[in-house]
Amino acid sequence: MIGPAGITGLRFKSFRDNWSSAYQMTNNAGIPDPTGGTYWSFNDLVGLFFPAVTGIMAGSNRSASLKDTQRSIPVGTLAATLTTTSLYVISVLFFGAVATRDKLLTDRLLTATVAWPWPVIVHVGIILSTLGAALQSLTGAPRLLAAIANDDILPILNYFKVADTSEPHIATLFTALICIGCVVIGNLDLITPTVTMFYLLCYSGVNLSCFLLDILDAPSWRPRWKYHHWSLSFVGAALCIVIMFLISWSFTVVAIALASLIYKYVGLKGKAGDWGDGFKSAYFQLALRSLRSLGGKVT
């Protein structure tokens, strides 16, 4: 029985031929084309692949269902990260050993091509996975938007306010329109790097928040994870920014400028929250520590 063209079976020769990188020009559909106008470098491909591994916050989003959140979230998140990373690496190595380089570059559904016993199993799995991820986002994102609106921090979001027992219908419609607008563009590969920028900016903000809470020694911030340290949060925030610049410095500048404008807008138009301003608290804490150190030297 002869297999599909380009499928060599599990061979070390294919693995060796595909081991090194060879980035090429592609057309708008992502197909290799020497006359194409798009060049995908390693950094570009990181930006393209990154949204596939952004489920790291899934445990935190379901913290209310956990018995011991302060232990279950870090242990579960690390275990899930190690498991999925291993699966991704093993999959990449096996794909490199069963097909030629041209097949890897041109077959957008290689997983279905080499699937056993029928390719339709992979097709159904892709559809179900896509629908599941879409429904999860369409249920989580509107609630997050409504929660931010209910905090009365951004007046422009007052339209999305809902009661505690109500469903965020307006926020759901707004989120759906954003998704539809991205889909009708036609090529998600062009949108994905932009999505990656905002994911990295979000993760950078989370790490920066943890870093500030550690520095401020806030009474409400008492993490029990024994491996937690403020330096990890700082390195995480810095690493996210560095990766953003490596992927696209222009997109990074735009994303940071947009975040700065939102921060400035909150400072000018937003209402003061009960929790205060993290940066002002950091300045106060630094001043307090400086005064204490001076007092200790005088005495």
Are 251 and 201 in contact, with CB atoms under 8 Å apart?
A: no
Q: Are residues 80 and 144 in the same domain?
A: no
Whether residue 168 has a cis bond before it, omega within 30° of 0: no
Could you tell me the residue range of the domain that residue 98 belongs to? Answer: 1-114
Q: Are residues 54 and 134 in the same domain?
A: no
Q: Which of 173, 171, 181, 113 is nearest to 146 (CA)?
A: 171
Q: Are residues 21 and 93 in the same domain?
A: yes
Q: Are residues 171 and 211 in the same domain?
A: no
Structural domain includes residue 292: no
Structural domain includes residue 123: no
Nearest-angstrom CA–CA distance, 72 and 19 = 38
pLDDT at 98: 93
Structural domain includes residue 85: yes
The total number of structural domains that make up the chain: 3
**The token pair that represents 51 in the structure block:** 């949204």
Structural domain includes residue 288: no
pLDDT at 298: 47
Structural domain includes residue 294: no
Q: Are residues 268 and 205 in the same domain?
A: yes
Contacts of 203 (CB under 8 A, 6+ apart): 236, 240
Contacts of 101 (CB under 8 A, 6+ apart): 17, 18, 22
pLDDT in tens, 272-298: 555 556 666 666 767 777 777 776 554
Q: Are residues 89 and 192 in the same domain?
A: no
The pTM (predicted TM-score) of the whole model is 0.78
pLDDT at 120: 93
Place of tokens 């951004």: 154
Structural domain includes residue 207: yes
Structural domain includes residue 290: no
Structural domain includes residue 5: yes
pLDDT at 95: 92
pLDDT at 281: 66
Domain boundary among 114, 140, 159: 114
Q: Are residues 109 and 137 in the same domain?
A: no
Q: Are residues 33 and 85 in the same domain?
A: yes
The low-confidence residues of the chain, meaning pLDDT below 70, are 1-3, 29-30, 59, 61-65, 270-283, 285, 295-299
Q: Are residues 99 and 144 in the same domain?
A: no
pLDDT at 299: 47
pLDDT in tens, 225-245: 888 888 999 999 999 999 999
pLDDT at 240: 94
Nearest-angstrom CA–CA distance, 162 and 168 = 6
